[in-house]
Structure 1
Amino acid sequence: MNTVSPIILPDALNKGIALQPLSSNSLLVNDHDLSLLLKIIEQDGIQLSPENPSDLPGSIPNHLIAAALDYLYAHHQELNSITLSSELIHRLPDNQLIQTITQDSKALNLRAGLYQNRILWHWANNDHFPAEIWTENEHGVKHPIRQQQPSGVVYERYDYQNDVTISFRTIDPEHDLGLFHQWMNQPRVAEFWEMAQSRSELQEYLTTLLDSGKTWPLIGSFNGKPFGYFEVYWAMEDRIAPYYDCQPWDRGFHLLVGNPEFLGPRFSSSWTKSITHFLYLDDPRTARLVGEPRADNKRLLKLLTPAGWSFVKEFDFPHKRSALVNGYRRSFFQEVRL
């Protein structure tokens, strides 16, 4: 492997994380405070260890090792685990990157464990989960009280497979109104969303969503440039609930890609996996995702498949013939390669 330029990673902690492969078995990862030169040993899988153990600091922050693990999993799609050397694990502040110890005392990070860890990608409410307290809404539907939706960026990840940085942020009804109005009034978008409305109508729509707490409107961006709109909803409070065995923490989303620059398989591969990943990270109680696209929207059904979604059945809403699709936490983290 030739030396390449450093990769600057999205960084919720504002640590300035950079990663640079120096050779096929040498990786430099650093932030504003610390630089680690790591050795990659390919023997019976992969082991990650320090190049010079004597140079290690007394404590190594989790985000640097997590960044190195993410790089290795992205470039070794067949791997389900990576061994961490004893010199590294003894300097980590806790065991959140170690999922199992083997019979021969090797400490393993599991792929499924790393990608359920919020340290690199989830940018809001990292450590707080409300108690499960139930309420009843104005329609007589009983459901858990939902956590308040944060503003700003909520997820950001460098996608090695597609060489893009993807992010999601909560929509701002004033700042984003022009863009939202433009997208909703595109003929190809209006065909499915049926919301080719005025700016004032759309602003009121967004404000109502944000106030309701049951639907979370997000803007998706590639490399900082907005590409699409996502509405994340709790299924129990949504119209889909009566049509399947809905559980309290099931979630779904509606979407549109408004910027035609970001149509195509490279970008769809990134956003389908990333929005799915975000929804599982956002609340670990979410074990299933649901969707109800129009039954004739075969393209969307095809796009969702690599992100672990599958077709369940067709059914009739009052206003359309729909396809019920499901994604499951367990299969996503075991099978989907980010």
Structure 2
Amino acid sequence: MTFTIRPLDPARDAGLLHGWVTHPKAAFWRMRDARPEDVERVYTGIAADEHHDAFLGLHEGEPVFLMERYDPAHRELAGLYAARPGDVGMHFLVAPAETPVHGFTHAVITAVMRHLFEDPATRRVVVEPDVRNTAVHALNAAVGFVPEREIETPEKTALLSFCTRERFERAVGA
């Protein structure tokens, strides 16, 4: 499966994202009650932040996932673990589908990880999913993430996990 990834345009893409982040399957995204203008405001803030970026992933020209990349030493995980040079934080959200395609979400996270590791400065990807999100824990493990420990963030109890370039390549046979 081939994906292209482009920078998110908050003004243009907020309406689309609103449908994704308020969908019941996006409960762990914590935006279920957001209004379209709330979504635009959040992503306008991310676009202006030197330590955080958002992207749309497309399959056959259609937007199918959201990806965020952030510097964990400055955002989200700042002060919650000892960040190393080359650490990159990541979030991803697959658009809700009327007819799910087996293996699609695995293909998305694989594409996200490949995109992050295209930058030679990226040495390790860091994630902090909610401890209750067992589906994403399984996906993370499938692409090489290793859980380190539970941490408390302002929003949740999270499972701090790491994936090095080498673990990712072994996991996906790259």
- Asked whether the two chains share a fold, i.e. TM above 0.5, the reply is yes
Q: What RMSD, in angstroms, separates the aligned Cα atoms of the two structures? A: 1.8
Alpha carbons 2:142, 2:171 under 8 Å: kept: no
Partner of 2:151: 315
* 1:241 paired to 2:78: yes
1:273-292 → structure 2 map (5 Å cutoff):
273-282=110-119, 284-292=120-128
Give the match's secondary structure for 2:10.
coil
* 1:184 paired to 2:21: yes
* 1:324 paired to 2:143: no
Taking structure 1 as reference, are residues 262 and 224 closer, same or farther at Cα in structure 2, changes over 3 Å only?
farther
Runs of 4+ in 1 over 6 A off after TM superposition: none
Gaps of 5+ in 2: none
| Cα distance in 2 between the residues matched to 1:211 and 1:321 | 28
Alpha carbons 1:226, 1:259 under 8 Å: kept: no
Partner of 1:269: 106
* 1:214 paired to 2:51: yes
Match of 1:194 among 10, 20, 30: 30
Q: Tell me by how many angstroms 1:303 deviates.
A: 0.9
Q: Tell me by how many angstroms 1:261 deviates.
A: 4.6
| Cα distance in 1 between the residues matched to 2:98 and 2:63 | 10
Q: Tell me by how many angstroms 1:233 deviates.
A: 0.7
* 1:303 paired to 2:167: no
1:2-38: CA deviation from partner (whole Å, max 9, x where unpaired): xxxxxxxxxxxxxxxxxxxxxxxxxxxxxxxxxxxxx
1:311-332: CA deviation from partner (whole Å, max 9, x where unpaired): 2111222331110111001232
| Cα distance in 2 between the residues matched to 1:245 and 1:295 | 20
TM-score normalized by structure 1? 0.48
Partner of 1:223: 60
Give the match's secondary structure for 1:241.
coil
Higher normalized helix content (fraction of residues)? 2
Q: Tell me by how many angstroms 1:263 deviates.
A: 4.2
What amino acid does structure 2 have at the position aligned with 1:217? A
What amino acid does structure 1 have at the position aligned with 2:67? F
Give the match's secondary structure for 1:176.
helix
Q: Tell me by how many angstroms 1:300 deviates.
A: 0.3
| Cα distance in 2 between the residues matched to 1:166 and 1:329 | 20
| Cα distance in 1 between the residues matched to 2:162 and 2:99 | 25
Gaps of 5+ in 1: 1-163
Q: Tell me by how many angstroms 1:184 deviates.
A: 1.9
Give the match's secondary structure for 2:2.
strand
| Cα distance in 2 between the residues matched to 1:213 and 1:221 | 24
Q: Tell me by how many angstroms 1:179 deviates.
A: 0.5
| Cα distance in 1 between the residues matched to 2:113 and 2:35 | 31
| Cα distance in 2 between the residues matched to 1:262 and 1:173 | 27
